Structure 1
Amino acid sequence: MPAQRPRAAFEPLSPDLDVKALVESTPNFEYVTRIHCNTIDANGLDDFEKLVALLVVRLGKPLVVEGFDKRLDNTLFSEKWLRGHYSAKTEYARNLSTKTDLPLTIGHYLKNMPLLTEQWTAYNYKDPDRQRIYLKDIDCPPEWHDELKKVIPSPVFYLNKAHSTAPIARAGDLMSCLPPNARAENLMCYIGHEGTYTPAHQEMCGSLGHNIMVEASDGSNEYGKDTKPGSSIWFMTESKDRRAVSDYWMSTLGHDIDIEDHFAQINAWKAAPFTTYVVEQKPGDFILIPPLAAHQVWNRGTRTMKVAWNRTTVETLDKALHEALPHARMVCRDEQYKNKSIVFYSLEHYSTVLKKAQKPDINGLNFKKLVKEFEQLFGLYNEVLLSECFDNNSPERDVEFIPYDSNITCSYCRGNIFNRFLTCPNCVVPSVSDEDDAYDICMECYAMGRSCVCISALRWAEQFDWKDLEGKHEAWRQQLIKAKTDLEQVYLPLTTQREHLSKRTLAEVCQLELSRRPWVDISKPVIQSKPMEVKDSDTEDIISTHKRRKLFRGDQTEKAGRCHICKYLEPLWKLASCTQCSKHYCYGSLYRAFNMLPHQTMEVLDWKCPKCIKICSCAACRRDPTMRPFEPTCMLLGHDTRKIADPRSVESLVDFRHSNLRWLKKAADDETCRSKEHHHQHQENKDGNHGQLAPEQSIQLEESTAVLQALTEFEGIPVDPALERLLLPGGAMPTGPGDQ
């Protein structure tokens, strides 16, 4: 296993933290913009929608709308109501200390929240041997949903398909355009006590986040027990700083923001080379979170109760397809939102709405906005369809048709698959359900070298009839031309675009790789077929393998080449070959030394290697005075996805577990400076001293790669009597971790 980099340790927040003093004493801390909900009524929903579009979506800054506590039904949104109606409902609470799930009834959890809170004081809040039980990601009661729908402004509410009564109203949440069975149910509740938290993360798939605190303890006596006032402290960033945040998380804190497993220390936020927005959320505060903006939350007091949801818009779809999903694919994070499908079904919805608008001049500005979003959606659909086009000279004839049901996901990255993908006929595993567990791989993963052990001989499958998709593309293209004569981009017919494309499509890359990569019989660990032969002068036959790594087995006459960077012999299908000088580069070196993913090389028709374009950074090329060695622009920590991906999986081109630390220009001590320099390129007006730390403000590091915590699961909170039989056979009471 690759060596782990030192990582910043978890450091809790003190119950006595003075948020106001913290913000006012820290140069790069700022308060979030706040408006009162009464101003929405005074100025109208249209102005509020414009504010959200400008401030939150385009500028990427967080926003707080306060005052909803006066409009919420305090009888309905209360601990007493929840205990009275859902006390017996079992949920899985998250034990943040042990990172395990604990089944508890809602009533039992609410009853013991004072006990969980009282364990924390200003003197012991750093004690690791205490419980942090967080009831998070639970379904929102339907009664709360119905009431919030009346209170929250319609443009920003959950699953809103038409946020006004206008005949051509645009969808407030494009998730609503999906068939009901394909939608991700993400209206969730979060109930926490002092010391519970949510690690730093970005909203899933680049979506817009919404979070309202509907109730919190107020310090009064409840059921004969004193309570502490509840609130939540948020640390938030801007969308435009997402690159600086990611670099800082990796280079300085030693964590990956996409993994969502680190709650950053206050000192880490103080030292950060970007602005941090701080919010103390109290009942009635409604927070709007920008897309791709990192944020973390800390709960205070006896009880906080929040409702949260996400919205997908045209702008967030663009960010999802081009930024969020590629990052999620690297760490194998579930894609629950089916973004490509949302593009397709949103176009169908917008097309229907546009047909109802017979006279554009009557509808005015609303019609123009509708057409603008229709054009943006069509651009994304055009991009998706182009990526799935086969090679015109060798189209696939034997493509399995599987009617779309929205549930096919990649066996490796767990991303949702919209239409075309590859499936292995040899790796079908019998399942307890009626259907066998097939091994399906998305085109993006296969181009990266991810697949089942068979590596090749996979078959093509699709979920829509290709002629139907092409037909809709042409119909929507004509509709767009008719509705808007001044298109920002001229969209030609799909076949014409394909003919003039100057690179390989993603599907064509997969076609080529299927012909190059060898098939491995899983019953015999021997390569059964020979790879595609490539003629070049730098190729040599493999005669013996004792002087090199045992990277592959099989026919000893298989053609191979030597990587220009690492000097190892590799099969030709594992190498990118320069069309100008015939040098070879292995995909691992291209990824770590030049920030090139495999498909970025494979899609180029006339690929020139780093040496030919004068950016090679190997030792020999560095001595060439005409060379300008490439320096990696960011740190790649490496991800071990074996515990997440399907166990039948392999990585045949790049071992993504390894980082690019040795390729970075400077030592670890200088990485913070590089992160700051990158940030200043985008934000020259920032104070250069914001990231400086006083000696007593150093960031604490973990003593080892994994924090060892000997914790007692049930200590300090009685076992729910209703769950005794569920937890242990015979109803025995657990006494410690060994009994769980």
Structure 2
Amino acid sequence: MLRSLPSSTVPAPPPLPDETIDELLARLAANGTAGPFKAVTTIDALTASEAEVLAAVENALSKGVPIVIQNTLKAWFHRSNSKPSGADSDAALFSLGWLRAHASDEPVQLRNVLNGEDVESSMGGFLDYLAKKTPAERRAENNTLYGKDISCPPAWSERAMKCLPEFFKYKGKNDLISLLPAELQPENLMIYVGNEGTLTPGHTDLCGSVGHNLMVYTGDGARAIWFLAESAALSQVSRFWKAQGQSIYGDDYFASVDVLQTAPFDVFVIEQKLGDFVIVPPETAHQVYNKGGINMKLSWNRVTVDSLQRCVERVLSEYRIHMRPEIYRIKTLVHHTVKHMTTRAGPWSADSDLSSRLKFMKDFRSVITSFATIVRDEWIEGEPDRSFLPTPWPDVGQPHMRICDFCRADIWNRGFNCKICASASKSRPLPAENAYAGVQASSLASTSQQASPTTALGSGLDAKTASPPSTPIIKPTRPHDLSEVGEDEFDVCLQCYAQGRSCPHETSMNFHEYVSMRVLSKQLTVAVNAYNAICLEPEQQITQASINELYDGSGPTVPTATIASELFGRRAKEMQVDSKSRCCHACRSSNVPAWTMVFDECGVPYCARCLWSRFGERLFDIKKTRDWKCPKCRGICNCLHCLKNWDRSKKLPFPVPSGDMVLLSEQPHYLEHRHGNVLASDKQCPSGPVFKNGLYLVEEPPAELQLKMRNLKRRIPEAERRPASSRKKSKTVDSARRISVSTPMARRSRPSPELDCLQVKRSFTDPSTESRHRGFDDVASWTPGESSSNGQLSHGTKSARPSNGAFKTRSVANGCEERVPWKDGNQIPRLQPHLDSRSPASVRQQLTEMHLDPAFLKEYFVESMAVVQERSSAWAGVHAETVYRQMMGQ
């Protein structure tokens, strides 16, 4: 389930002046390079044969660089003797007039590129809006609309796929998407209606697919300026985007020419005009800016064997980290591709074309390797309890259509489900402020998954009042089994569950699967035998030993399903950890759940919170590694017991997590009242060890983490807004079932009302007796009253006497009596300053007037901040001591 991103998170894109673009293009035309900018390879479809064009494209794709095929409309479309359906010519078909005549009432979703909001309209209303408003007027109104990801009219797709070479066709022989069942095939053949100032931010095409973009219409001076990097530079592009405080997977940042001028990688520049066909290699970061009049482009993607390999090796893991929907159901596609290629392997004979056979063998082996990887990750090692093995999904007749409610990844086979959330949603509809709208997934999702949009712009819209509203639309995760518009069942993928994620009813979740592992293992064996039968060289065959490694536990990592199954059993049986002690070695807490404890051969346990906050290690990564050693065995433990020999003149290193880090509170689809069971690594940055006595100092967080903390604070007000109904709900949820990793101080019970005061180990002089006291038995309470307008810290003793009627004497520990502030039959809360006729004092001034012991105040602040960090991400990753020093003006 998705909702639209808050508009405040999308920076306004910088306009690209014509003179800047023209100067850059002129320099590239003359020299082929200008700083990091490079001219792209082009080939003319009018002068080159189709075979030469295909050879040039395949060469560019193998190198991971873009290529442009020019004059494709004249060379490929005009050569067809048949007329396009519904028009006398291609120029008449691919035109604004044709859209107005045949698709005026079609609903479209528009993107306001200035604030990132999505707007519902009709095609006719959008075209009227473009005709009545100049680009300058639209930008002045903060209302530059881009018609992107609009479903392609059938007449357009039919004509384009009939004229294009077979190699490029959408869902053709070279597009593996065609192997999926019809109900699982995503529709990604789209049209883009651009105008001056509209743009597509920096991004990569989904799931390592090959991008195709053909400009079929241009108005006066219309063109599109592309900026692309090569595929191999994706990691550099990602770091460069992070340096700008953005993410290449966020699809919400457009880098200006001045910013790209400093890029440490090559930037290919394309000026796309009418008939130019741009081919974008897999994992190529790119952005597009539209200049001049209205232009229209056809765009689609093809999934290849190379795309599947890239996805299984790294793309899907990146998508999970950034919680980006994959749309293409890659694991399901790998499964169907294996079965398809196993069938195709039979007819090959010794007299078959050698080059075709070698290519098929290479692709077949790659697909088998990918399939073995995903099967192994869902394998449960050892001899699991039969009662905790998965059962069939309720929708086993409609498989592979579920999406994880946490990371938005497709659930291929095994996963977890909670039906209590669906029944609870019947009495808790979503308020308007938390309604969902499909920002990215809605444009690429299957037509069966799309809700009927509401027209926000009519065809007769007045130009003066054309300020489109941003009405969010409910986009269900699945098209079936929805109890009510709003929320449905709670589904969690294997990896999220293994990470400790769940809904508030984690003990009631069910473990399901679509296909049994026995069937999948047999299909893998059949595919391996089919490959070995056509393999020309014996040394290139896949051995049985390599297959056995998938199941015998000899690999370097533990399958995700094994971790999830163990966690499922522990939650269901409330099993205890098998360590020598249940007390965390670092924080000495014994109240954490059993499944959040981990230990190595030495048996010293660590809780998940300490591993994250003190060492930057995620619990899931630790459980995946077979040879993990605890921080104590590695000699890096920073608890007080292990730091006895530490040189106190040196600061302790700040924990820096490995890999990227995206917090739940940053995600637009995150709903706190549904995602009830999350670990600290989901909600906050590592905070480092905090020592309240000041004996040890911890380094400041690295600059990258500090930047993330600032960005997190900026996004929290919108990202963590909760519906009013959920606030009431969260108070009634059984706290024993809402599992979170916390420190000991977060678990401390509140003092009794009869002793609602502070015990401080410090020296003081009682103002009433002028006697000196010291020790824990002394009771201190903040006592504002009529006799002291500024307030004072008084201490109860046996001889303490009330000075006026605003105090009451009562007995306390050790036979002592104390004076406590009393008003209207109730005790005044502790640490509450008295408000007088003076101007309101700052918190710092109030704390100064209270004359509290600095050591106590620092300890109280740090412990309180730990509780805040546990309960909310408002202070996620903030260094407690740094905040304390700033608060006290030190």
TM-score, normalization by structure 2: 0.62
In 2: Cα distance, 1:267 partner to 1:368 partner: 47
What is the aligned partner in structure 1 of residue 83 from structure 2? none
C-alpha displacement of 1:600: 2.2
* Whole-Å separation in 2 of the counterparts to 1:593 and 1:77: 60
TM-superposed deviation, 1:45: 6.4
Aligned to 1:275: 266
Alpha-carbon distance change, 13 to 666 in structure 1, aligned in 2, over 3 angstroms:
farther
* Pair 1:514 & 2:568 matched: yes
- Between stretches 494-503 and 232-241, larger displacement belongs to 494-503
Which range is displaced more, 444-453 or 417-426? 417-426
1:299-378 correspondence runs (5 A) = 299-357=290-348, 359-378=349-368
- Structure 2 residue corresponding to 1:30, chosen from 13, 32, 38: 38
Residue type at the aligned position of 1:534? D
- Contact 2:579–2:605 under 8 Å retained in 1: no
Shift of 1:515: 3.0
Conserved in 2, the CA contact under 8 Å of 1:206 and 1:320? yes
Equivalent-residue separation in structure 1 for 2:372 and 2:36 (angstroms): 42
Corresponding residue SS for 1:185: coil
Cα distance between partner residues in 1 of 2:304 and 2:616: 30
Shift of 1:426: 3.9
Asked if 1:66 is matched to 2:70, the reply is yes
Match for residue 656 of structure 1?
682
Deviation at 1:319, TM superposition (A): 1.7
1:532 to 545, 557, 576: 576
Select the residue among 669, 675, 678 that pairs with 1:644. Answer: 669
Contact 2:598-2:608 within 8 A present in 1 as well? no
Shift, 1:500, TM fit: 4.6
Contact 1:49 1:155 in 2 (8 A): no
SS in 1 for 2:402: coil
Deviations 1:682-727 (A, max 9, x none): xxxxxxxxxxxxxxxxxxx99x94799xxxxxxxxxxxxxxxxxxx
Is 1:207 the counterpart of 2:213? The answer is: no
Q: What is aligned with 2:876?
A: none
Any stretches of 5+ residues in structure 1 without a counterpart?
163-171, 220-228, 520-528, 541-560, 675-700, 709-740
Tell me which moved more, 184-193 or 347-356. Answer: 347-356
Q: Distance in 1 between matches of 2:378 and 2:265?
A: 39
Shift of 1:334: 2.0
* Alpha-carbon distance, 1:659 to partner: 3.6
Q: Structure 2 matches for 1:540-559, cutoff 5 A?
A: 540=583
CA contact (8 A) 2:531 2:541 kept: no
Q: State how far apart, in whole Å, the 2-side matches of 1:157 and 1:463 are.
A: 32
Residues 319 and 455 of structure 1: CA distance in aligned 2, closer, same or farther (over 3 Å):
same
SS of residue paired to 1:571: coil
- The AA in structure 1 aligned to 2:180 is L
Larger deviation, residues 655-664 vs 574-583: 655-664
Secondary structure in 2 matching 1:34? strand
Change (3 A) 1:326 1:413: same
Identify unmatched segments of 5+ residues in structure 2.
Answer: 1-5, 28-32, 78-89, 427-479, 690-697, 718-890
Superposition deviation, residue 491 in structure 1: 4.7
C-alpha distance in 2 between matches for 1:65 and 1:603: 46
Task: Please give the alpha-carbon distance, in whole angstroms, between the structure 1 residues aligned to 2:614 and 2:294.
Answer: 49
Contact 2:604 2:630 in 1 (8 A): yes
CA–CA distance in structure 2, aligned partners of residues 589 and 207 of structure 1: 40
Q: TM-score, normalised by structure 1?
A: 0.74
Counterparts of 1:320-469 in structure 2 under 5 Å? 320-357=311-348, 359-394=349-384, 396-397=386-387, 399-402=390-393, 403=396, 404-424=398-418, 426-429=420-423, 436=483, 437-469=488-520
Mapped partners of 1:77, 1:45: distance in 2 = 24
Opposite residue 501 of structure 1, the aligned amino acid is S
What letter corresponds to residue 665 of structure 2 in structure 1?
D
Q: Compared with structure 1, are the counterparts of its residues 615 and 360 closer, same or farther at alpha carbon in structure 2 (3 Å cutoff)?
A: farther
Structure 2 CA distance for aligned equivalents of residues 307 and 342 of structure 1:
25
Measured at CA, do residues 431 and 637 of structure 1 come closer, stay the same or move farther in structure 2, by a change above 3 Å? Answer: closer
CA distance in structure 1 between the aligned counterparts of 2:197 and 2:338, rounded to whole angstroms: 45
Amino acid of the structure 1 residue aligned with 2:94? F
Work out whether 1:150 is the aligned partner of 2:204. no
Aligned to 1:483: 534
> Is 2:233 aligned against 1:233?
no
Deviation at 1:479, TM superposition (A): 0.7
Residue type at the aligned position of 2:42: R
3-state SS of the aligned residue for 1:649? coil
Greater mean deviation of Cα atoms: 46-55 or 347-356? 46-55
**Aligned residue number for residue 180 of structure 2:** 178
The superposition leaves residues 211-251 of structure 1 with CA deviations (integer Å, 9 ceiling, x where unpaired) of: 1111111x2xxxxxxxxx1111122122222222222222x
Specify the alignment match of 2:248 in structure 1: 257
Give the structure with higher Rg (CA). 2
* CA displacement at 1:602 relative to structure 2: 0.9
Does the CA contact (< 8 Å) of 2:13 and 2:114 recur in 1?
no
Q: Distance in 1 between matches of 2:316 and 2:601?
A: 34
In structure 2, what is the Cα distance between the partners aligned to 1:269 and 1:661? 34
* Count of residue pairs the alignment pairs up: 612
Answer whether contact 2:13 2:253 (CA < 8 A) is retained: no
- Deviations along 1:624-644, one digit per CA (max 9) or x if unpaired, are 89x999855666353426641
* Distance (whole Å) between structure 2 residues aligned to residue 92 and residue 198 of structure 1: 15
Matches within 5 A, 1:487-502: 487=540, 490-492=543-545, 494=547, 497-502=550-555
Shift of 1:655: 3.9
Q: What is the RMSD of the two structures over their aligned residues, measured on CA atoms? A: 3.7
> 2 CA distance for matches of 1:454 and 1:431?
14
Structure 1 residue 285 corresponds to structure 2 residue 276? yes
Percentage of matched positions with identical amino acids? 27
For 2:701 and 2:382, locate their aligned partners in 1 and report how far apart those are by CA, in whole Å. Answer: 49
* Distance of 1:434 and 1:578 partners within structure 2: 42
Higher relative contact order (CA 8 A, sep 6+): 1
Contact 1:635/1:659 (<8 A) preserved: no
| Helix, strand or coil at the partner of 1:451 | coil
- TM superposition shift of 1:410: 1.5
Counterpart amino acid of residue 309 in structure 1: W
Q: Letter of the aligned partner of 1:486 in structure 2?
A: E
Give, in whole Å, the separation in 1 of the partners of 2:403 and 2:376.
21
Secondary structure at the residue paired with 1:513? Answer: helix
Rounded Cα–Cα distance in structure 2 between residues aligned with 1:536 and 1:131: 64
Q: Give the residue type in structure 2 aligned to 1:238.
A: E
Amino acid at match of 2:294: R
CA distance in 2, matches of 1:151, 1:18: 36
- Give the equivalent residue in structure 2 for 1:724: none
Give the direction of change, closer, same or farther, for the CA distance of 1:573–1:153 in structure 2 (3 Å limit). farther
The yes-or-no answer on 1:110 pairing with 2:110 is no
Distance in 2 (alpha carbons) for counterparts of 1:670 and 1:441 = 30
> Retained in 2: the 8 A contact 1:615–1:628?
no
TM-aligned CA distance change 1:425 to 1:367, over 3 Å:
same
Match of 1:688 in 2: none
Alignment deviations for residues 429-485 of structure 1 (CA, whole Å, 9 cap, x no partner):
278876653322110111122111123453221111333222211111111111113
* Cα distance change on mapping 1:147 and 1:248 into 2, 3 Å: same
State the SS of the aligned residue for 1:656: helix
Give yes or no for contact 1:92–1:102 (8 Å, CA) kept in 2.
yes
3-state SS, counterpart of residue 540 of structure 2: coil
Pair 267,506 (structure 1): closer, same or farther in 2 beyond 3 Å:
same
Match of 1:80 in 2: 97
Structure 2 counterpart of 1:658, one-letter code: Q
Residue 599 of structure 2 contacts residue 605 of structure 2 at CA under 8 Å; is this kept in 1? yes
SS for the counterpart of 1:278 is strand
Structure 1 counterpart SS, 2:665: coil
2 CA distance for matches of 1:174 and 1:483? 22
